């Protein structure tokens, strides 16, 4: 596996590989890798790509400087994990390499960036859109792999690809879960064993809601009320939101119009750790 820190070098590497007629798969990450990230690399390997991962803690997507500072960084460990999953090249630039000047370009994603996570993390998706556009231009992949875990981010990237005409096929990897159902996340490291057990309620409530919503008699507001009640039974977990949304715009639905574009999204906090999860209505 090759490691590159400069844009020029990774570009050169990728363009040399193109002569071998291989497809390039890009797996963008911020490091602190877990099995969920590795499943993206494995998907790229299985697709027959040459998998290239990026490891870059992107300052423009953090609205809280303390979170940015505290974000776990362990490149050596990440590199070992990436190599074991079959990754062939890693682009790990410095902040100066990625942003040689303070970027003032912003991309507007409409309600996709202001609903749900957008309400809690102002400017977050603009930062994601900016860094992913840069990574797309630098690596020029054929395929880009993103996890369903960050569902809103996935649809932000879909919009970016469609509206900026990137010649890239976007691929979604299913959520990897711990034994009791908790969605894998770098943040789970900060949870005690008992918090992890308690946090299993997040996935359980999504499953219960999905079952209800698939019934012909389903009523979104009654399901939402039931989920709020469920969370009241936990003295550790605080529900931030539970919404049934359309993946077209991420606006909460009052009635399900198209099951194929309906998703259930949830965010909850436990011991100052914020956790998100989701289920596609038809999954």
| Shortest CB 91 distance to ligand PAF, Å | 11
Which x/- pattern, by CB under 6 A, does the window 54-93 give for ligand PAF? ----x--x--------------------------------
Distance, CA of 106 to CA of 55 (rounded, Å): 22
131 lies in the binding site for ligand PAF (CB under 6 A): yes
| Shortest CB 28 distance to ligand PAF, Å | 4
Query: Which residue, 146 or 241, has its beta carbon nearer to ligand PAF?
Result: 146
Query: Which residue, 72 or 252, has its beta carbon nearer to ligand PAF?
Result: 72
Between residue 20 and residue 49, which ones bind ligand PAF under the rule CB under 6 A?
Answer: 28-30
Distance, CA of 270 to CA of 55 (rounded, Å): 27
Query: Which residue, 201 or 276, has its beta carbon nearer to ligand PAF?
Result: 276
Are 85 and 41 spatial neighbours (Cβ–Cβ below 8 Å)?
yes
Q: How far is CA 184 from the centre of its chain?
A: 11
> Has 143 been annotated as catalytic?
no
Query: Which residue, 29 or 247, has its beta carbon nearer to ligand PAF?
Result: 29
| Shortest CB 39 distance to ligand PAF, Å | 14
150 lies in the binding site for ligand PAF (CB under 6 A): yes
| Shortest CB 149 distance to ligand PAF, Å | 8
| Shortest CB 232 distance to ligand PAF, Å | 31
Helix (H, G, I), strand (E, B) or coil at 101: coil
Q: How far is CA 215 from the centre of its chain?
A: 29
Q: How far is CA 258 from the centre of its chain?
A: 24
Distance, CA of 152 to CA of 149 (rounded, Å): 9
160 lies in the binding site for ligand PAF (CB under 6 A): no
- How many residues bind ligand PAF (CB under 6 A)? The answer is 10
Q: What does the block give as tokens for 41? A: 């690399």
Phi/psi at 81 (nearest 5 deg)?
Answer: -65, -45
Q: What is the dihedral of CA 186, 192, 194, 199, to 10 degrees?
A: -30
Phi/psi at 127 (nearest 5 deg)?
Answer: -65, -40
Per annotation, catalytic residue among 5, 37, 143, 228: 37
Beta strands 237-246 and 262-270: pairing type? Answer: antiparallel
Residues with a known catalytic role: 37
* Contacting positions for ligand PAF (CB under 6 A): 28-30, 58, 61, 128, 131-132, 150, 153
């Amino acid at each position: 596996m090759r490691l590159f820190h400069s844009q020029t070098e990774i570009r050169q590497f990728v363009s040399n590989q193109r002569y071998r007629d291989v497809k390039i798969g890009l797996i963008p990450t911020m490091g602190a890798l877990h099995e969920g990230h590795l499943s993206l690399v494995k998907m790229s390997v299985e697709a027959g790509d040459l998998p290239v991962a990026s490891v870059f803690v992107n300052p423009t997507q953090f609205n809280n400087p303390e979170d940015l500072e505290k974000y776990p960084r362990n490149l050596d460990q990440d590199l070992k994990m990436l190599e074991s999953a079959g990754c062939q090249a890693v682009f790990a630039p410095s902040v100066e390499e990625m942003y040689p000047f303070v970027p003032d370009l912003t991309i507007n994603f409409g309600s996709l960036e202001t609903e749900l996570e957008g309400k809690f993390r102002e400017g977050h998706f603009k930062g994601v859109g900016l860094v992913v556009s840069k990574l797309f231009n630098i690596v020029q992949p054929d395929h880009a792999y993103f996890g369903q875990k960050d569902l809103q981010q996935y649809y932000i990237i879909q919009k970016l690809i469609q509206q900026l005409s990137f010649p890239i096929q976007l691929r979604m990897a299913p959520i990897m879960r711990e034994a009791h159902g908790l969605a894998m996340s770098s943040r789970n490291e900060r949870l005690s064993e008992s918090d992890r057990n308690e946090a299993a309620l997040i996935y359980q409530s999504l499953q219960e809601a999905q079952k209800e919503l698939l019934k012909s008699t389903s009523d979104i507001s009654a399901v939402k009320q039931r989920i709020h009640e469920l969370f009241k039974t936990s003295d550790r977990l605080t529900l931030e939101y539970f919404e049934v949304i359309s993946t077209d715009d991420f606006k909460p639905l009052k009635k399900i119009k198209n099951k194929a574009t309906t998703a259930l999204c949830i965010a909850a906090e436990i011991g100052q750790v914020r956790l998100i999860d989701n289920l596609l209505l038809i999954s």
